[in-house]
Amino acid sequence: MIPLPYPGNDLVHGFWVGLGVVAGLVWYALEKRRLRLHDDRLWVLAGMAVAFGALGARLLTWPAALDPSRTSSLLEWWTLGNRSILAGLIGAWIGVWLGKRLTGYREDTGELFAPAVALAMMIGRVGCLLTENPGTPTGGGWGMVMTAEQAERLGGVPGVGLNPSFLYEIAFHAVALTLLLRWRGRLAPGALFRLYVAGYALFRFAVEFVRGNEEVWFGLTRPQWFLLAVSPLLIRSVLRALRAPAPIHPETRSRWASG
């Protein structure tokens, strides 16, 4: 069994998350250059995605607390509350939507963003793997292990093998990145990003059963309830994207496919 290397170490966590963000932005810049997309409004969209993603990761989890008696003030939630990748994705999505409205950019950007997001999440989750409560007990003699002191601090079960749930998530994003690169240019505009988000939603719902998060209602965690709540929108969005006809921008499409 492998001990948790840096329990609760914000510096290590911040380093890996930062590395993920930088890698995602570098990827975005290289893709933008490879596709010869010189429109500066794409940088506005990237900025809006990162800024609103960061704000959303913190602020959007505030009303998502299902137990009203435990909902704290916005100030308290900002300083001490949870951060959520799911809320961050929603925030980033809102940011890009708002950026498009403000700048008048009309073309689809999903295929530009999706691989960058997958790469950023894959790297960023290493920080979680090294510092956070790994997950529920595996029930066998394998997994990650925490001491009693670490378990009390981070929540979780001490002295037994725990599911490395963040490793599962890293593997998911690695596979997703491979598929995104293989399928780019072959689907309707926007379909790739929506499929990636839908796939992540499904994966995340499943992995929550071994993540070790608090079960709030009917044995489901907050992220699972959140995913259930947004699933109709997600399904509708994916179906609409898949039903879309020919690519809107054939010249761009051929460049996507050739890469």
Binding site for another protein (CB under 8 A): 10, 13-14, 17-18, 21-22, 25, 40-41, 43-44, 46-55, 57-58, 75, 78-80, 83, 99, 102-103
CA distances to 61, 68, 197 from 237, rounded to whole Å, are 23, 30, 10
- The alpha-helical segments, DSSP class H, found in the chain are 10-34, 41-59, 74-80, 85-103, 110-131, 148-154, 165-183, 191-211, 222-243, 250-258
Quote the CA–CA distance of 196 and 226 in Å, as a whole number. 17
Nearer to another protein by Cβ, of 83 and 255: the residue is 83
Cα 200 → chain centroid:
8
Nearer to another protein by Cβ, of 28 and 256: the residue is 28
Nearer to another protein by Cβ, of 116 and 145: the residue is 116
CA distances to 79, 87, 146, 225, 235 from 200, rounded to whole Å, are 28, 13, 27, 15, 13
Quote the CA–CA distance of 198 and 190 in Å, as a whole number. 12
Quote the CA–CA distance of 148 and 105 in Å, as a whole number. 53
Nearer to another protein by Cβ, of 22 and 242: the residue is 22
| Residue 221 host element (H or E) | strand 220-221
50 and 21 in contact (C-beta within 8 Å)? yes
Nearer to another protein by Cβ, of 53 and 161: the residue is 53
Closest distance to another protein from the beta carbon of 53 (Å): 6
Nearer to another protein by Cβ, of 78 and 217: the residue is 78
Strands 215-217 and 220-221: antiparallel
212 and 156 in contact (C-beta within 8 Å)? yes
Nearer to another protein by Cβ, of 71 and 231: the residue is 71
